[in-house]
Amino acid sequence: MDTVSENRCFGGTQGVYTHASSACNCDMTFGLFLPEEADDGPVPLLWYLSGLTCTHENAMTKAGAQAWAADQGIALIFPDTSPRGDDVADDDAYDLGKGAGFYVNATQDPWAPHFRMWDYVVEELPALVGREFALDMERQAITGHSMGGHGALTIAMNNPGRFKSVSAFSPICNPMGSDWGRKQLTAYLGGTETAWARHDASHLMREVGFDGPVLMDTGSTDQFIDLLRPEVMADAIATRRQPATFRLQKGYDHSYFFVSTFMEEHVAFHAEALFA
């Protein structure tokens, strides 16, 4: 692991690091904020998964999350959204290829050699940061925006006991029923829909749910709301009778202005679960 940068931030340290990833078969970059409390021992960890076209840097610089994490004594990790490099397959469209890993393990060519973001986020990166930094890996929570909200929800529900809480900003709720999903799931996983089900948050909510606190926010004027399909998630929550807070925020769109507005609430929500 190599250090790209480390900057003092709200009493803690915002770092950027690179490492050779065996999961993605390329070099990967991530950001990690450590609060001041990490100087004295391991601290809880909140994962933030970003959306389409993003890198590790977008939320790190735009979401305003470090201030609230510092207040709570929580670390924040910002993984990249896809593999990178000259040898990594790509597509001319913004919603497939680099910047659009969708947090799955691709099984189809040309994506399979590198696009294994599920293994990277669920297995490889936690093992690396748990070994290298003062993190309490028994206390983890997860959140994300858009494609990253999809990733946060599906990873949390597929890994019971791993995360104390899950939240999402404008998540892609039902990729099996949306153009933001069917295209990518077909490209990465093939045309058999049974392989898609574990990557559909609404399906998972209906079938297995989440044993812990759940919070979701979507802007009522989100320009992509028809692709996000929050109504399908609302129905799944009601069908399962899952304890959850599911909010449509009046007048907000899909941007980081929306994310930063409600970031304090999301970090406090996770802190309550992490320190319970």
Which residues are the active-site residues? 146, 222, 254
Per-residue CA distances from 5 to 15, 29, 130, 163 (Å): 6, 11, 19, 28
Distance of alpha carbon 225 from alpha carbon 171, whole angstroms: 9
Tell me how long the chain is. 276
B/e letters for 86-119, b = 16+ CB within 10 Å, e = fewer, are eebbbeeeebbbbbbbbbbbbeeeebeebbbbbe
Task: Answer whether 73's CB lies under 8 Å from 35's CB.
Answer: yes
Q: Yes or no: say if 12 and 70 are a contact pair by the CB < 8 Å rule.
A: yes
Q: Interhelix angle for 256-274 vs 65-72, to 10°? A: 10
Encoded tokens for 167: 């939240």
Tokens 């599911």 belong to residue? 246
